[in-house]
Structure 1
Amino acid sequence: MNISHENIDEINAVITVDLTPEDYNPQVDKAIKEQAKKAKLPGFRPGMVPVSHIRRTYGKALLFDEVNRLVSDKINQYISDNKLEILGQPLPKEDDKNDYNWDFQDTFSFHYEIGLAPQFEVPFNEKTTFTEYVVKADEETLESRIKNLRRSYGKMTNPDIAEDGDVLYAELKQVDSEGKEIEGGVVNTASVRTDLVDDKKIKKSLVGLKKDDEVTIDLKKAFKSTADIARMLGVKEEDVEALTTSTFKLTVKNINRLEEAELTEDFYNKLFGEGTVKSEAEFREKVKEEVESMLVQNATQKLQNDMYLKGLESVKVDFPEAFLKRWLKATNPEIKDDELEEGFADFLKNLKWTLIENRIITQNGLEVKYEEVLALAKERIAAQVKMYSPGQEATDQQLSQYAVQLLGDKEQANRLFDEVKALKVFDHLRGVVKLEKKEIEYNKFLEL
């Protein structure tokens, strides 16, 4: 057997595998004997089918399978031994059209195209500077959080007069330009949330309404979301798009208001535990701390994204695009040409960042351990338990059991592995680059 590779250029190469009968016949003979032991054929006792019969009947198929298996194994071993950093997987050359007899005496020569990873320097060092934002809760964000907390522990009332933020339980009837009900038009009774009304003039017309009051509004003008309009009318979203007119007469049946909880010690105890918070000032400070702790994740995501963009911008390389497109189509036969072209630029961006990550991991001896992936799986499961079963907590033994089951799914395991790898690279880069801390209010941070 002879195996070698020839570089076409810096990012494309061809691997050639030459096989003689002496290379493949021992494996083929072994496969034929194993098949003879397992074969159940008419006229023969189980396991007693003559090898010669198996060779005549199934020989070429077994020869084909064993040659392909041998070639695949040897190519993978060659790539590993020669430390070739390839992209995708080797593909048979399209013009490799040798016509073989498959008679156990052929000398085979197979040619496989490979895409090579481009060479580059990792663009991060002690001189690379990033801004690490310390996000502070601005007054608007703080007030919004406090309002949501008070509403979550509030009570429902039915006031006589509607205010902004109330929910109107109302009958909606489709009308024409003169305000007359359309025969066969859409009619439905539903909850109309005034806080979702986008048009200021329409919102003002809903404030001050009382039970049995009527007002005519254009739903498509009032609400940006087609889904919200479909819910109110009890129809599908495509039916909303097909409406001949979106003008409706709204008749108030009832007014619902969620009154905010009062700032009392009982309210503070429900939120933070007995005796933790005793005054409004302490309450506001506690909420501010919690909001800013949540904003740490936003700042971390910003820093990660800035590093990602810096990597993409700094690494100028070419990729074997023709090979990669062929490989993508070979591994995703259902993909259409226009779909491939549409997503190819994003594919190359992700590929470039993956190469940067892998280079950082290799050069710095970083390692993703199973225990770390397992710990992340347990963390994700614990968060789901908390979300869907408030007040309940799974034991560490239960979390471990569920995590092992989750990692049994190859797709989930790969996703979690990639997450751990990304975190390792990010933590490493934080220790390498220069970080300049900068305080910023959340509303200004969002503008970034």
Structure 2
Amino acid sequence: MNISHQKIDEINASITVDLAPEDYNPQVDKAIKDQAKKAKLPGFRPGMVPTSHIKRTYGKSILFDEVNRLVSEQINNYVTEQKLEVLGQPLPKEENDANYNWDFNDNFSFEYEIGLAPAFDVPFSAETEFVAYDITADDATLEERVKNLRRSYGKMINPEVSEEGDVLYAALKQNKEDGIEKTTSVRTDLVDNASIKKSFIGLKKDDTVTFDIKKAFKVADLARLLGVTEDEAKDLDVTEFELTVKNINRLEEAELNEDFFKKLFPDGDVTTAEQFQAKVKEEVENLFKQNSDQKLRNDIYEFGMDKVEAAFPEPFLKRWLKATNPEISQEELEEGFQDFLKNLKWTLIENRIVTANNLEVKYDEVVNLAKERIYSQIKMYNINEEPTDEQLNQFAMQLLQDREQANRLFEESKALKVFDYLKGVIKLKSKKIDYAKFEKLDK
């Protein structure tokens, strides 16, 4: 057996695998014997089929499979031993047209094309400076958060007279013969026209108003309101509707009292409005740390992508993508190829950092990340639910059984590890900024 590679240029190469009968026949003979033991064929007792019969009947198929398995195995071993940074997977050379007898006596020679990762230096060092933003909560953001918390623990009431923000349970009737009639909940906060919104204020039960429904609502909201498609909503021929109030619903915000504080903070460390405001500010600014980290990650990404100049074996990569995704059209391939190269480039930068600094993603780290994501999702839909660590572990194990989800979480864990490492290498300059100004950055 002989295996070798030849560089075509810095990013393209070929690998040749030569096999003699003595290289592959031992594996083929073993595969034939294994199949003879398992075979159930008419006229033979189970496990007693002669190997000669298996070889005569299935020999070429077994030979083909074993040769391909051996070639693939040898290429993988060779790539590892030679420390070749290969992109994608080796592809058989298109001009390979050797004809073999497949009679267990052939001398095989297979040639494969490979794409090589480009050489480049990782551009991050102690001299590389980035801004780490310390985001403070402005009054408007704090007021919005307090309002949302009070609404989360508020109660639904049915006032006699409507106000802005109420939900009107009402009958809608299109002003034409055999027009649309529907009883539904109309959210006044979604009304997109000031004069129409004003006409919905001060209404009582059984009051009626006529309005232009297309002026009142955006197409998506209108479609949901009437229970039609967006195309049907756009094509309404008569847009004048009559609204008759059947009931008024209003979410009354919870009062800032001891009962409310206990629901939010059962430990009892918040008993006054001042302590509540301070706690909300702390919570909001902790969330802002995530925004700051994301901004820093984006800045690091943009810097790395800008500084690293790398050429890729594009024709090879396109052939590989087409070979592994045969259903993709040429148009789709070309359309998404530049994004693919961007992702590949950043992946290589991350991998170089991981390899050069012996960074390792541990299984426990992936599990903990899965638990964090599950916890956030649970709290998003039910602020009062507090899952136990045992429940989170169970959910995480179920999630990680999905290979696609497990790979995604592993890649995310790797990205976080690289980010943490880089924060210890680069120069970070802290800068205070309020949230309103932070939101305008890069816009």
**Given that residues 366 and 424 in structure 1 are in contact (C-alpha distance below 8 angstroms), is that contact kept between their aligned partners in structure 2?**
yes
Aligned match for 2:198, one of 204, 212, 217: 204
Gap change, CA 1:258 and 1:401, over 3 Å in 2: closer
Aligned match for 1:217, one of 185, 189, 211: 211
Gap change, CA 1:426 and 1:146, over 3 Å in 2: same
Displacement of 1:389 after TM fit?
Answer: 6.6
Helix, strand or coil for the counterpart of 1:432? coil
Aligned match for 2:406, one of 409, 413, 416: 413
- In structure 1, the partner of 2:44 is 44
Percent identical: 68
Helix, strand or coil for the counterpart of 1:41? coil
- In structure 2, the partner of 1:12 is 12
Greater mean alpha carbon deviation, residues 73-82 or residues 233-242: 233-242
Give 1:20's aligned amino acid. Answer: A
Helix, strand or coil for the counterpart of 1:156? strand
Give the Cα–Cα distance (whole angstroms) in 1 for the partners of residues 371 and 253 of structure 2.
Answer: 36
Aligned match for 1:348, one of 325, 341, 344: 341
Give the Cα–Cα distance (whole angstroms) in 2 for the partners of residues 386 and 205 of structure 1.
Answer: 38
Displacement of 1:438 after TM fit?
Answer: 1.3
**5+ unaligned residues in a row in structure 1: which ranges?**
175-180
Aligned match for 1:190, one of 181, 184, 191: 184
Helix, strand or coil for the counterpart of 1:294? helix
Helix, strand or coil for the counterpart of 2:280? helix
Give the Cα–Cα distance (whole angstroms) in 1 for the partners of residues 165 and 249 of structure 2.
Answer: 9
Give the Cα–Cα distance (whole angstroms) in 2 for the partners of residues 258 and 382 of structure 1.
Answer: 27
How many residues are aligned here? 441
Greater mean alpha carbon deviation, residues 338-347 or residues 213-222: 213-222
- In structure 1, the partner of 2:232 is 239
Give the Cα–Cα distance (whole angstroms) in 2 for the partners of residues 141 and 439 of structure 1.
Answer: 16
Give the Cα–Cα distance (whole angstroms) in 1 for the partners of residues 16 and 46 of structure 2.
Answer: 41
Alignment of 1:94-109 (within 5 A): 94-109=94-109
Give deviations 1:77-100, integer Å, cap 9, x for gaps: 110000000111111111112111
**Given that residues 154 and 258 in structure 1 are in contact (C-alpha distance below 8 angstroms), is that contact kept between their aligned partners in structure 2?**
yes
Gap change, CA 1:9 and 1:66, over 3 Å in 2: same
Helix, strand or coil for the counterpart of 2:260? helix
Helix, strand or coil for the counterpart of 1:84? coil
Gap change, CA 1:109 and 1:159, over 3 Å in 2: same
Gap change, CA 1:325 and 1:373, over 3 Å in 2: same
Give 2:51's aligned amino acid. Answer: V
Helix, strand or coil for the counterpart of 1:172? strand
- In structure 2, the partner of 1:254 is 247
Give deviations 1:231-276, integer Å, cap 9, x for gaps: 2212333432342243322222222222222222332232223653
RMSD: 2.0
1:364 aligns with 2:374: no
Gap change, CA 1:140 and 1:353, over 3 Å in 2: same
Aligned match for 1:229, one of 222, 229, 234: 222
Give the Cα–Cα distance (whole angstroms) in 2 for the partners of residues 339 and 290 of structure 1.
Answer: 44
Greater mean alpha carbon deviation, residues 280-289 or residues 401-410: 401-410
**Given that residues 176 and 238 in structure 2 are in contact (C-alpha distance below 8 angstroms), is that contact kept between their aligned partners in structure 1?**
no
**Given that residues 189 and 232 in structure 1 are in contact (C-alpha distance below 8 angstroms), is that contact kept between their aligned partners in structure 2?**
no
- In structure 2, the partner of 1:120 is 120
1:160 aligns with 2:154: no
Greater mean alpha carbon deviation, residues 151-160 or residues 292-301: 151-160
**Given that residues 219 and 230 in structure 2 are in contact (C-alpha distance below 8 angstroms), is that contact kept between their aligned partners in structure 1?**
no
Displacement of 1:147 after TM fit?
Answer: 1.3
**Given that residues 219 and 234 in structure 2 are in contact (C-alpha distance below 8 angstroms), is that contact kept between their aligned partners in structure 1?**
no
Give 2:362's aligned amino acid. Answer: K
Alignment of 1:29-40 (within 5 A): 29-40=29-40
**Given that residues 202 and 217 in structure 1 are in contact (C-alpha distance below 8 angstroms), is that contact kept between their aligned partners in structure 2?**
yes
Give 1:83's aligned amino acid. Answer: K
Displacement of 1:66 after TM fit?
Answer: 0.8
1:374 aligns with 2:367: yes
Give the Cα–Cα distance (whole angstroms) in 1 for the partners of residues 94 and 407 of structure 2.
Answer: 31
Give the Cα–Cα distance (whole angstroms) in 1 for the partners of residues 242 and 218 of structure 2.
Answer: 19
Give the Cα–Cα distance (whole angstroms) in 2 for the partners of residues 147 and 378 of structure 1.
Answer: 29
Give the Cα–Cα distance (whole angstroms) in 2 for the partners of residues 219 and 269 of structure 1.
Answer: 44
Give 2:179's aligned amino acid. Answer: G
Gap change, CA 1:152 and 1:382, over 3 Å in 2: closer
Gap change, CA 1:127 and 1:247, over 3 Å in 2: farther
- In structure 2, the partner of 1:177 is none
- In structure 1, the partner of 2:310 is 317
Greater mean alpha carbon deviation, residues 256-265 or residues 89-98: 256-265
Gap change, CA 1:225 and 1:293, over 3 Å in 2: farther
Aligned match for 1:296, one of 280, 289, 294: 289
Helix, strand or coil for the counterpart of 1:216? strand
Give deviations 1:333-384, integer Å, cap 9, x for gaps: 2212222222111111111111010000001110111222222233334445
Give the Cα–Cα distance (whole angstroms) in 1 for the partners of residues 152 and 44 of structure 2.
Answer: 78
TM-score, structure 1 normalization: 0.92
Give the Cα–Cα distance (whole angstroms) in 2 for the partners of residues 158 and 412 of structure 1.
Answer: 45
**Given that residues 127 and 426 in structure 2 are in contact (C-alpha distance below 8 angstroms), is that contact kept between their aligned partners in structure 1?**
yes
**Given that residues 171 and 190 in structure 1 are in contact (C-alpha distance below 8 angstroms), is that contact kept between their aligned partners in structure 2?**
yes
Give 1:197's aligned amino acid. Answer: V
